[in-house]
Amino acid sequence: MTDTMAISIIDTARYGWLSYLGIGCVIFFAYFIASAIYNLYFSPLARYPGPFLAKISAWPNFYYATTGYRHIWIWQCHEIYGEAFRFKPDGVLFNSPTAYRAIYQTKANTKKGKFYEIWSRNPQYINTLTKVDKIAHARKRRVLNSAFSEKAIRSAETFVVKHVDRWTELIINENDGKGWTVPKNMSDLSDYLVFDIMGDLCFGTSFNLKEAEENQFKHMPHTIADYMRFMYPITQSPILALWVWLKPRGLDGVLEIASPKNVKDYYKFVDESVAKRRREEENLEKSGADESQGRKDMFHYLFKATDDAGNPAYSVDELNSEANLLIIGGSDTTSTIMTGFWFYLTRHPRVYDKLVKEIRTTFKSADDIKTGPALITCKYLLACVDETLRLSPAGTSELAREVLPGGLDIAGHLIPEGTHVGVATWTIMHNQEFYGDPWVYRPERWLTDSVTGVTTEDVARAQSCFNPFTIGQGNCVGQKFAMGELLITFAKTLHRMDVRLAPGDTLGAGAIELGWGMRSKDHITLKDAYISIKDGPMLQFRRRPI
């Protein structure tokens, strides 16, 4: 073969591949144009307003998920386009209480989508959150309800009180109870407290994060936050279906191997803790001990749960997965509310003084504070918590749903099968039509009072948009427990200590440079990662003068 012939063959191969590449690009471009034309003019959703790029591509939605401010983008779009807007070619988001009920009520003609399938660790590691099938989810949910029965919640209060008392003791005694403490990041303090509570309740072992000394799990709240920040954009990805398809085909194994050491350590801790508690429960059963013996934590009730045939309701993997769900779902969400509570309370002296007076006149001692009639009479405390749940929600964006065959009437909009729908929590909690001054921290909005001018109709209007624990099959199973945990923590802390914002602190607050929806320094700034990511405020504590 001559040099000329060889060069000719190489050139032919080279330009052949370039030709194929060019053809491929033309086909892709033609498909994109055809798809865009269809989405803009012929799709059943073509009549819905929205950002131009969002109508023809899911990439804008994905982009904002990567920034952590997708919930702000959604709020901005509702401000521009109205009650319903198209956030991707096959998705419409709404902003009204009527739409919320239509989408999330138990009998709604919707289902969980692939958004939830991506979260499972492996095909066996399925829990109530990641179960998509409605019938199977309902079965799992009935079992999980047993861990949050009235009896179980009463048993759990002992663990809550123990940890809150220790938490306040550590804060007060930091400088021998003399003067104000050094500024403390309330996001960290809240994380440490609730992780210790949930670890004790779920695994029978406290993480001891609130203690001064370092331990291998001190990083855990930040590790989980980092994991959620990594996973959340994937749930909003235009190629989510491919991710879900790849999971049982090797992707799960790759992610398991590639996980950082601290994530592996956490999973190992969960697996070992569940195995330890399972052995304890099995040994207790074998010993013939009566029901009054042993720990009455959440794991006890999950372990004892049975299916309709009387068999154990959970496999080992399912026990691990449910325990993991409870520790994350019951910790980070509650911590966000605690962080928001202290953020707003310390910036509103009038509210602070009124609340402190109510708590300290209702209870003679912090040791008297527990769930019951006396705590429920603290109406202003309840109003402060509700206002925090509104302004600092544990999850800022929508709970993803997909319309089932037959379509769905959402607030007068006939939505076809396969459409992704939802109502973003942040948006509806800042709905001006229902709240009037949605950016203002005003607990009085929840209390009918002739002096403040708040009527029964005003309260009902605010409550119509207020679903912090959501509704239907997907509502928060631990909402009663969470409310008790919040009330006890706030009441005991304010009874024992004075609290103030560290002078000059702005950590976690909005700022002009952050842009529309995040400009107010009196409003908390959260990042959206399915859960809310927070930081700050910096607070100081002082033993209450007697």
- For residue 252, pLDDT over 60 is answered with yes
- For residue 8, pLDDT over 60 is answered with no
Q: Indicate the pLDDT class of residue 319, thresholds 50, 70 and 90.
A: confident
What is the predicted pLDDT for the residue at 123? 82
pLDDT in tens, 126-185: 888 888 888 888 877 887 887 778 888 888 898 999 999 999 999 998 877 688 999 999
What is the predicted pLDDT for the residue at 443? 98
Instruction: Write the CB contacts of 16 (distance below 8 Å, at least 6 apart in sequence).
Output: none
Strands (E), 58-187: 84-88, 91-94, 110-111, 184-185
Given a contact cutoff of 8 angstroms between Cβ atoms, the answer to whether 196 and 208 are in contact is: yes
Percent of the chain residues past pLDDT 90, beyond the cut? 59
Q: Is 542 helix (H, G, I), strand (E, B) or coil?
A: strand
Backbone angles phi, psi at 335, to 5 degrees: -60, -40
pLDDT in tens, 205-230: 788 999 988 888 888 888 888 888 98
Given a contact cutoff of 8 angstroms between Cβ atoms, the answer to whether 384 and 443 are in contact is: yes
What is the predicted pLDDT for the residue at 36? 87
- For residue 2, pLDDT over 70 is answered with no
The CA radius of gyration of the chain, in Å to the nearest whole number, is 26
* CA-based nearest residue to 524, from 430, 406, 460: 430
Higher pLDDT, 301 or 102: 102
Separation of alpha carbons 182 and 503, rounded Å: 11
Mean pLDDT value across the chain: 89
Sign, Cα dihedral of 454, 456, 458, 462: positive
- Please tell me the CATH code under which domain 53-543 is placed: 1.10.630.10
Edge to edge, what strands does the sheet with 184-185 contain? 184-185, 538-543, 497-501
pLDDT in tens, 381-438: 999 999 999 999 999 999 999 999 999 999 999 999 999 999 999 999 999 999 999 9
Q: Is 314 helix (H, G, I), strand (E, B) or coil?
A: coil
- For residue 19, pLDDT over 90 is answered with no
Contacts 24+ apart (CB under 8 A), 49-57: 49/81, 49/82, 49/84, 49/85, 49/86, 50/77, 50/81, 50/85, 50/86, 50/87, 51/77, 54/86, 54/87, 54/88, 54/89, 55/86, 55/89, 56/89, 57/88, 57/89, 57/238
Residue 476 assigned ligand-binding role: yes
Question: Across-strand partners of 93?
Answer: 85, 422
pLDDT in tens, 46-68: 999 999 999 999 999 999 999 99
- The helix/strand count (H/E) of the chain reads as 23, 12
pLDDT in tens, 265-301: 778 877 888 888 888 888 888 887 766 677 777 788 8
Separation of alpha carbons 114 and 236, rounded Å: 10
